[in-house]
Amino acid sequence: MNRRNFLKQSALTTAGGLLIPNFLKAYEKQTLGQRVAPTGKILVIVQLSGGNDGLNTVVPYRNDIYYRERPTIAIRPDKVLALNDEIGLHPAMQPLKALYDDGLVTVINNVGYPNPDRSHFRSMDIWQTASDSDTYLRTGWVGRYLDAACQGNAQQPFRTIEVDDTLSLAMKGNSLNGLAVLDPKKLYNQTRSSLVTRLNKERSADSPESVTYLYKTLAETVSSADYVYDKTKIRTTSATYPNHELGNRLKTVSQLIQSGVSTSVYYISIGGFDTHINQPGQQERLLRQYAEAVGAFMDDLKVANRQNDVLLMTFSEFGRRVKQNASNGTDHGTASNVFLIGGGLPARRVLNEAPNLTKLTDGDLTYSVDFRQIYATLLHDYLGADDVAILGRKFDGVKIV
């Protein structure tokens, strides 16, 4: 493998661990340019990886078919946190129910896409790239938003941040990738390591294209790491968050928001939702963690007077089959639900109809909302972007903004 290919495949392309030396400083300034002020609207995306069971998350507690098909794992009607006369939340999600009662939660049922794929990897790719099920894209919808947001301006990977050590496909654009930041101080220290000085010594052997790519990638990474770290030194949150993965990551997002980092989209992923075996206990634990973390995050934003500026969207790559399996769990399905929380949306509501358990497609829920309709609305109405250019074609929006 030559040095150029190594660089392209290394952490450099995802804001990882190599540092920019002094010889790149002039290019760094030229590339980053003038940093812009925040626009005020922020989208936080929480991905529930593994295929969360939507029917036991938003429960059709008045539906006899639900209880017939799930004799041992269905949520009892008296335990459900009712949202209306048909559906309610899993009992572990009391903090989310409190947000709903405060007018901050919109529930969208039956979200999916045509010709669904039950593979975790393929379905997640579809959600992250906003492609058709038979089309393979190498860029993500958030990455293409970043391309559009920085077009004609300074290259600013920090405009979209994934709170992780690596970058998902959703965050990769045609000309620019988002920034992967799990710990701003750690990333800052990594970008000041002496490791890259060896590249400095060998740079004369590089072709012009290779040198340009190296300069650009390292400059973008170090400038963004420097900017984010400097901002987070200004202000930290004193709010109490649950001490688990999602709690810690949402605390980081809140700290970045309150520090004034000019980021429009944050992306977080948590796993464990592939509940083929003994689902009740595992899903209850995960949904409790999710609801506790989101509750703490929204309370923190309320104290900072930022609840109306920040919209949190939660999705999973697919739901589960209606009928439980023989292992007290559920297998891969299709349509599920999406939560939208905060952002100054209209008061709490269930946006559309409950799942129709009499009209299944091969034992699975039939989608009625294409997830790209939600993306289109968030891009156009909330972030003020060109949804058609980013998604590749026009999708009818949903009335959420």
Torsion of CA 233, 238, 243, 244, to 10 degrees: -50
Q: CA-to-CA distance for 52 and 33, rounded, in angstroms?
A: 42
Query: In Å, what is the CA distance from 299 to each residue of 58, 82, 249, 259, 292?
Result: 22, 22, 15, 17, 11
Write down the pLDDT at residue 230: 87
Write down the pLDDT at residue 4: 43
Q: CA-to-CA distance for 355 and 332, rounded, in angstroms?
A: 17
Write down the pLDDT at residue 216: 66
DSSP conformational letter for 330: -
Q: Is 352 inside a domain boundary?
A: yes
**CB contact set of 35 (below 8 Å; sequence gap of 6+):** 154, 156, 227, 262
Q: Is 396 inside a domain boundary?
A: no
Q: CA-to-CA distance for 115 and 158, rounded, in angstroms?
A: 35
CATH code, 367: 3.40.720
Write down the pLDDT at residue 347: 79
Write down the pLDDT at residue 206: 53
Q: Is 361 inside a domain boundary?
A: yes
Q: Is 367 inside a domain boundary?
A: yes
Q: How many domains does the chain have?
A: 1
DSSP codes, 131-197: --TT---SS-HHHHHHHHHTTTS---GGGEEESSSS--GGGB-SS-B-EE-S-HHHHHHHTT-STTH
Q: Which domain holds residue 158?
A: 3-14+43-391
Write down the pLDDT at residue 26: 42
> What pTM does this model have?
0.88
Write down the pLDDT at residue 221: 77
Q: Is 33 inside a domain boundary?
A: no
DSSP codes, 49-100: TTT--GGGTEE-TT-HHHHHH-TTTSPPGGGSEESSSS-EE-GGGHHHHHHH
SS (H, E, C) 369-394: EEHHHHHHHHHHHHCCCCHHHHHCCC
Q: What type of residue is 266? A: Y
Q: Is 330 inside a domain boundary?
A: yes
Q: Is 34 inside a domain boundary?
A: no
pLDDT (tens, 9 = 90+) of the chain, 401 residues, equals 444 444 444 444 444 444 444 434 444 444 433 333 335 799 999 999 999 999 999 999 999 999 999 999 999 999 999 999 999 999 999 999 999 999 999 999 999 999 999 999 999 999 999 999 999 999 999 999 999 998 876 778 899 999 999 999 999 999 899 999 999 988 888 777 665 445 444 554 455 665 555 566 667 777 888 889 888 887 778 899 999 999 999 999 999 999 999 999 999 999 999 999 999 999 999 999 999 999 999 999 999 999 999 999 999 999 999 999 999 999 999 999 999 999 998 877 999 999 999 999 999 999 999 999 999 999 999 999 999 999 999 999 998 86
Q: Is 112 inside a domain boundary?
A: yes
Q: CA-to-CA distance for 342 and 141, rounded, in angstroms?
A: 22
Q: CA-to-CA distance for 124 and 332, rounded, in angstroms?
A: 13
